[in-house]
Structure 1
């Protein structure tokens, strides 16, 4: 399923759903941040996705990280809640979501970076190299909050 992201775009369609999702900002022992390149947008992002019934937001973040990157991670902290009503994601099936993400901080404990049907690139990236990657502004905000130490972010 394809998707189009709108960020502070006055022409964005009106949201018709609000789905809880979780991200995991994984930092390795060298301070590099785990990123995946999304096949549907071509942009680099933190691993994350929609929460399933029967799991906690934290379990969702760990599950999505493994599914999207091949990295087994454990949670070490909480970055924040991101609920920007000006960040809209329109899917080809007609669903139009308003952003609602809880983002956790974690560290890798196993696995290997692996591409899959959702990600065609998976890398640990040093903070000094982030500008070389096409990263969506919402992900830049979350990574920036982590690097600046401004968490938990609640908005």
Structure 2
């Protein structure tokens, strides 16, 4: 399914859904951040996705991380809730979502970065290398909040 992201774009379509999603910002012992390159946008992002019925937001973050990166991680903290009515994601099936993400902080437990159907790249990235990657502004905000120690909780 294709997707188009709109960020503070006056031409963005009007949202028709608001789906809870969770991200997991995983940091290894070297201080590197786990990122995946999404096949649908080509941009680097934190692992994350839509919450399933029957799971908590934290369980969603852990599941999505393992599915999307091959890394099983445990949650060590909470970064914040990121909900921006000016960040719209339009899918080819007609769904148009307004951003709503709970972002957790975690550490790896086991596994190796592994590509999959949703990501054609998965790697640990040092903070001084982030500017070399195409990272969506919403992900940059979350990573920046973590690196600066600014945990907004309600973003």
- For the residue of structure 1 that corresponds to 2:61, the secondary structure is helix
Hey, what does 2:62 align to over in structure 1? 62
Is 1:24 aligned with 2:31? no
The DSSP-based 3-state class of the residue aligned with 1:62 is helix
Matches within 5 A, 1:5-154: 5-154=5-154
Structure 1 runs of 4+ aligned residues shifted over 3 Å read: none
Q: Distance in 1 between matches of 2:132 and 2:28?
A: 19
**2-structure distance, mates of 1:32, 1:133:** 14
CA shift for structure 1 position 109: 0.5
Note the C-alpha offset of 1:12. Answer: 0.3
| CA distance in structure 1 between the aligned counterparts of 2:95 and 2:33, rounded to whole angstroms | 30
TM-score, structure 2 as length reference: 0.99
Structure 1 residue 137: deviation in Å?
Answer: 0.1
Extract unaligned runs of 5+ from structure 2: none
What number of residue pairs does the alignment pair up?
Answer: 155
**Tell me, which stretches of 5 or more residues in structure 1 are unaligned?**
none
| RMSD after superposition | 0.5
Compute the TM-score of the two structures, normalised by the length of structure 1.
0.99
Cα drift, residue 152 of structure 1: 3.8
Distance in 2 (alpha carbons) for counterparts of 1:80 and 1:109: 22
